[in-house]
């Protein structure tokens, strides 16, 4: 197989995170990163380190995760996608492959990330729906939930929604561009778009919004929770299975880089 100087490639991937310990490589257990690196080693014949645009926890899925790596492989981009999909487990799929400049960083150059969280609002269990959603029954006031979600938009200290903050956590101020709760029949979806997120931020936000919807937390209390910014005071965090990383966004489309290289 012909080789050339190392180039940087970017993958957009979709995955079902149900059976994985998260996206980031860990000492024990299968992760999205470890599966990608195993598939790349089978394709290239050498170990290749991948870098993800965002970390997802155990059980969390994605339809638009972005991954980069450097390689000497000289193959058409379509062939790289086809080969990796052959080597990857059924729960992970490469949607697209792009050639980008060496200086492009999938994490630092992302301008926003979008997540959704699915709630199955029904007194009746649904084995299929509940694989990717969290079941809640009883009354839920969606208007109150949306009013609380609207408070998140803008630049705010999101410490209350972080389950854990390390000693070197840095600023807990985060810019939220959009947040809303929508309903279609028994499925309720919370959507949020932000520049970046704190650990477990979305899952703790949803846990708090559910409390607002159930009348267990007032809108004033939700606002006070945000203002106090006491780490870990929100929630409880809902299960990871309902969370999905929809997309990672950049200043220009990844496909535009191919045309300029």
| Contact predicate 66/53, CB 8 Å | yes
Q: Other CB atoms closer than 10 Å to residue 52's CB: what's the count?
A: 24
Binding residues for substrate: 115
39: its two tokens: 């598939």
| 251 three-class SS | coil
| 209 three-class SS | helix
Catalytic residue, from 16, 57, 141, 177: name it: 57
203 membership: H or E segment, kind and range? helix 201-213
245: its two tokens: 């990383």
Catalytic site includes residue 57:
yes
Binding residues: 115
| Contact predicate 140/188, CB 8 Å | yes
Could you list the active site residues?
Answer: 57
């Amino acid at each position: 197989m012909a080789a050339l100087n190392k180039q940087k490639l970017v993958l957009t991937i979709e995955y079902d995170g149900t059976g994985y310990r998260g996206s980031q490589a860990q000492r024990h257990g299968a992760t999205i990163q470890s599966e990608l690196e195993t598939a790349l080693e089978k394709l290239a014949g050498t170990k290749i380190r991948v870098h993800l645009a965002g970390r997802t926890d155990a059980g969390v899925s994605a339809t638009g995760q972005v991954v980069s790596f450097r390689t000497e492989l000289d193959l058409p981009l379509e062939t790289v996608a086809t080969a990796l999909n052959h080597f990857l487990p059924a729960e992970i799929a490469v949607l697209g492959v792009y050639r980008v400049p060496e200086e492009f960083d999938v994490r630092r150059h992302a301008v926003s990330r979008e997540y959704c969280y699915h709630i199955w609002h029904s007194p009746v269990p649904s084995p299929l729906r509940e694989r990717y959603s969290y079941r809640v029954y009883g009354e839920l006031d969606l208007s109150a939930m949306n009013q609380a979600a609207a408070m998140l938009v803008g630049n705010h200290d999101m410490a209350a929604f972080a389950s854990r903050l390390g000693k070197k956590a840095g600023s807990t101020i985060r810019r939220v561009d959009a947040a809303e709760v929508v309903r279609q029949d028994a499925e309720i979806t919370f959507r949020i778009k932000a520049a970046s997120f704190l650990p477990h931020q979305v899952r703790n936000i949803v846990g708090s919004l559910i409390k607002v919807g159930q009348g267990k937390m007032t809108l004033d209390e939700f606002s006070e929770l945000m203002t106090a910014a006491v780490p870990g005071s929100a929630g409880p965090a809902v299960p990871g299975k309902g969370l999905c990383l929809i997309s990672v966004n950049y200043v220009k489309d990844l496909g535009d880089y191919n045309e300029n290289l």
